[in-house]
Amino acid sequence: MGSGFFFSPGLSLKFVSGGRNLRIGSVGAKDQGRISEGLTRMSPESIRNRFLGSKSGFTPTELKELTELDGNTHYAIGVEDIEADRGVAVIRLARSREDSEQAEVAITVIDGYQKLGLGTVLLSLLILAASERGLARLSFTFLPTNEGIQKLVRKFGPPELGQSSRETQQWVLTLGQVNLVSLKARLATFLPEIGRFHLET
Ligand SMILES: CC(C)(COP(=O)(O)OP(=O)(O)OC[C@H]1O[C@@H](n2cnc3c(N)ncnc32)[C@H](O)[C@@H]1OP(=O)(O)O)[C@@H](O)C(=O)NCCC(=O)NCCS
């Protein structure tokens, strides 16, 4: 795989999930409106799980941080519903300043599109993108009551406990334990076009 080429701007994949036509691609400055609008369609519980508290909107600075990404230390993959013409999911990584081989992951699947396998597809793709970027570990910070993220992360291997407090927990997933070949094979059955997007070994 070419370094940093994974889902570069302009490359995208179409697929069907839950009877909906969806498109996956990298997130960029063009997506500010979709990110803002997406927040308005999240339930209070999903907002709390994603932002570890309440959130009613993004400041211009936050929107820039969420969408103006260098593709290496900050990178995000988004999903849009083609017919509805709106964003429905996003997963992002931010490389740690203290440890350049580790990145923190945040994921949102909008209510109504959850439990359809989108989180699994997005985390699979992000793991491949992270490994392409030389990352060795991904961390996830979540509320202890958030069962969805715990189930999702465990699908990729047993996580180690990272920094945790009474309010939040952090898990660290070591990428070396993930079988990337079988990950790609599983993705290829779900996203038949995957072979065209530099996911070959
Ligand atoms: C957590 C989240 C990303 C999961 O996304 P998703 O698209 O529903 O995930 P999938 O459909 O791929 O499901 C993955 C597994 O988790 C399970 N799961 C998903 N949501 C669940 C929930 N709320 N409770 C229990 N299990 C759940 C699924 O059943 C599936 O398990 P299986 O493969 O054994 O059937 C999504 O619920 C979400 O965006 N939540 C709000 C934001 C958030 O919590 N972000 C994480 C913190 S950064």
pTM, 2 dp: 0.95
Residue 121 covered by a domain: yes
Which residues form the domain of 128? 12-197
Q: Please give the pLDDT value at position 197.
A: 62
Residue 2 covered by a domain: no
Residue 42 covered by a domain: yes
Residue 5 covered by a domain: no
Q: Please give the pLDDT value at position 3.
A: 47
- What is the CA 125 to chain-centroid distance, rounded? 8
Say how many domains are in the chain: 1
Tell me the CATH number at 144.
3.40.630.30
- 3 state SS of 26: strand
Pocket probe for ligand 1: among 123, 140, 149, the residue whose CB has the most ligand atoms within 8 Å is 149
Residue 85 covered by a domain: yes
Q: Count of residues for the chain?
A: 201
Distance in Å, CA 181 to ligand 1 centroid: 23
Residue 149 covered by a domain: yes
Q: Is 63's C-beta closer than 6 angstroms to any atom of ligand 1?
A: no
Residue 64 covered by a domain: yes
Pocket probe for ligand 1: among 22, 88, 107, 152, the residue whose CB has the most ligand atoms within 8 Å is 152
Q: Please give the pLDDT value at position 69.
A: 95
Atom of ligand 1 nearest to the CA of 49: 44
Residue 3 covered by a domain: no
| DSSP states of 41-103 | TS-HHHHHHHHSS------HHHHHHHH---SSSEEEEEEEETTTTEEEEEEEEEE-SS-TTEE
Atom of ligand 1 nearest to the CA of 116: 11
Atom of ligand 1 nearest to the CA of 113: 7
Structure tokens at 124: 């699979």
Distance in Å, CA 48 to ligand 1 centroid: 14
Residues 6+ apart with CB under 8 A from 81: 20, 21, 22, 87, 88, 113
Distance in Å, CA 153 to ligand 1 centroid: 9
Q: Please give the pLDDT value at position 201.
A: 39
Q: Please give the pLDDT value at position 10.
A: 73
Per-residue pLDDT of the chain (201 residues; tens, 9 = 90+): 444 567 777 778 888 888 899 999 999 999 999 999 999 999 999 999 999 999 999 999 999 999 999 999 999 999 999 999 999 999 999 999 999 999 999 999 999 999 999 999 999 999 999 999 999 999 999 999 999 999 999 999 999 999 989 899 999 999 999 999 899 888 888 887 776 665 443
